[in-house]
Amino acid sequence: MFVIKHKNIFIGIISLIMLVAIVLTFAWKPNLSIEFTGGSVVRGEFKDARPTTETINSYMASFITNNKIADFKIQPVGGKGIIVRTRDLTQEEHGSLIGLLSDGTNIFTESSFSTNGPSVGSELRSKAIISIALVLVLIIFFVAYAFRSASRVVSSWKFGLSVIFCLVHDIFVPTGIFVILSHYIIGYEIDTLFVTALLAILGYSVADTIVVFDRIRENLKFASSKEIFEDVVGKSLRETYVRSINTSLTTVLASLAIFFFGGEATKHFALMLAIGITVGTYSSILLASPLLVLISGKAQRKP
């Protein structure tokens, strides 16, 4: 199988992509939503044409200095709408903000408003990280357990290890892409839905890898003593990559439907899923199995 023969090249290129994504994620700090940082988001529409950002800022000048608001961001949305992001506002501050946005004739109507205190954010942040770590750990145990019958040839922990390496890749590459988006476009923020998407990608990508590994497990059972491990993996991959791609494609189609036709709230979420599932698919074909061969230590020997 082509992929297994050139396994070092594939592992090399994919690891490089992963490295770039990791560096990007940590170098360009992604924007976090108010769920993680605390703050307020006001969304609404003007009755007539939307004033320019400068005009709105001038309405707000005294409000910002009086209340010592350091970060105040205005994002235009749709024809007449804006989203205002700022630190968490008190009831009074919120009231005066809405009042100041209207200039008497061009009335501003608020359609949604959310506020999060700073304490919630730090809790949620640690919880998000714990959840991701927990998923990784549980999955490695599950894979090690499910593939214990294959351990006659290759330790089932090595199956688990390749899966985990893949999953780290599957987390960082979509995150890297998201960080690039959030660097250039306002409104792309890391929120709880983003974390949900990451976890869903993990679950899904493992499912994809398992399809290939399941076939390796089965082929090992029937393999003659002459076949070397590398060939068994190659054969399994050849037999399964079509279904691997097809299962992902249906899910990507569904997420694209959410992205293009669904509501505002789930747009970024759907995009993340579409990217993540695509990434998870190529990694389960081009990374997981080559890696398994590499770390099996049985590249050239008989099983």
Partner 1 sequence: MRNVRAFAVLILLVGVALGYFVYSTQTGTSGWAFKLGLDLRGGSQLVYKANVSKIPSSDVNDSTDALRDVIERRVNLFGVVEPNVQIETVNIGVAGSEKHLLVELPGVTNIDDAITLIGQTPVLEFKTERPIEERDKILKQIEELKKKQKAGKDISQELSKLQDPYYVDTQLTGRYLSKATVEFSSQTGQPYVSLVFNDEGAKLFTEITKANIGKTVAVYLDAQPISTPVVQAEITGGKAQITGGFTPQEAKLLAGRMNSGALPVPIELIATNKIGATLGEGALDKGVRAALYGYILVALFLIAWYRLPGLIAALALLVYGVIVLSIFKLFGVTLTAAGIAGFILSLGMAVDANVLIFERIKEEKKKGKTPVAVLDEGFSRAWTSIRDSNISSLITAGILFWFGTSLIQGFALVWAIGILVSMFSALVVTKQFMKSVYLK
Site for partner 1 in 71-110 (CB under 8 A): 91, 94-95, 110
| 263-292 binders of partner 1 (CB under 8 A) | 263-266, 269-270, 273
Task: Select from 14-22, 25-33, 180-188, 203-211 the region that touches partner 1 (CB under 8 A).
Answer: 203-211
Cβ proximity to partner 1: between 117 and 297 the closer is 117
Q: Which stretch binds partner 1 (CB under 8 A): 1-9, 226-234, 251-259, 290-298?
A: 251-259
**CB-wise, 6 or 267, nearer to partner 1?**
267
Distance CA 191, CA 193 (A): 5
C-alpha count within 13 angstroms, C-beta hemisphere, residue 240: 27
CB of 296 to partner 1, least distance (A): 20
Q: How far is the CB of 240 from partner 1 (least distance, A)?
A: 8
CA distance 293 to 20: 25
String marking each residue 28-47 x if it binds partner 1 according to CB under 8 A: -------x-------x----
- Kindly state whether residue 221 participates in binding partner 1, applying the rule CB under 8 A: no
151 binds partner 1 (CB under 8 A): no
Is 255 near partner 1 (CB under 8 A)? Answer: yes
Site size toward partner 1 (CB under 8 A) is: 72
Q: How far apart are CA 59 and CA 104, in angstroms?
A: 12
Piece of 100-108, 182-190, 226-234, 260-268 that binds partner 1 (CB under 8 A): 260-268
Among all chains, which residue has been given the structure tokens 């993990």?
Answer: 202
Beta strands at 72-77 and 39-46: parallel, antiparallel or unpaired: unpaired
Helices assigned H by DSSP within the chain:
2-5, 7-27, 34-37, 53-66, 91-101, 118-146, 156-184, 192-222, 229-261, 267-283, 289-296
Write the interaction track for partner 1 spanning residues 123-142; mark x where CB under 8 A is met and - where it is not.
Answer: xx-xxx-xx--xx--xx--x
Residue 132's alpha-carbon distances to 141, 176, 273, 277, in angstroms, are 15, 16, 16, 17
Q: How far apart are CA 252 and CA 75, in angstroms?
A: 29
Residue 78 Cβ vs partner 1, minimum distance, rounded to whole Å = 11
> What type of residue sits at position 208?
D
- By the rule CB under 8 A, 203 interacts with partner 1: yes
- Shorter beta-carbon distance to partner 1: residue 14 or 195: 195
Rounded to whole angstroms, how far apart are CA atoms 279 and 273? 10
| Candidate residues 7, 50, 215, 298; the one interacting with partner 1 per rule CB under 8 A | 215
Q: Does 219 bind partner 1 (CB under 8 A)?
A: no
- Determine which residue in the list 106, 247, 294, 295 makes contact with partner 1, applying CB under 8 A: 247
The answer to whether the CB of 14 falls within 8 A of the CB of 94 is no
Q: What's the farthest any 2 CA atoms get from each other in the chain?
A: 86
- Does residue 152 interact with partner 1 by CB under 8 A? no
Distances (CA, A) of 302 to 147, 230, 289: 20, 9, 17
Question: Residue 260 interacts with partner 1 (CB under 8 A)?
Answer: yes
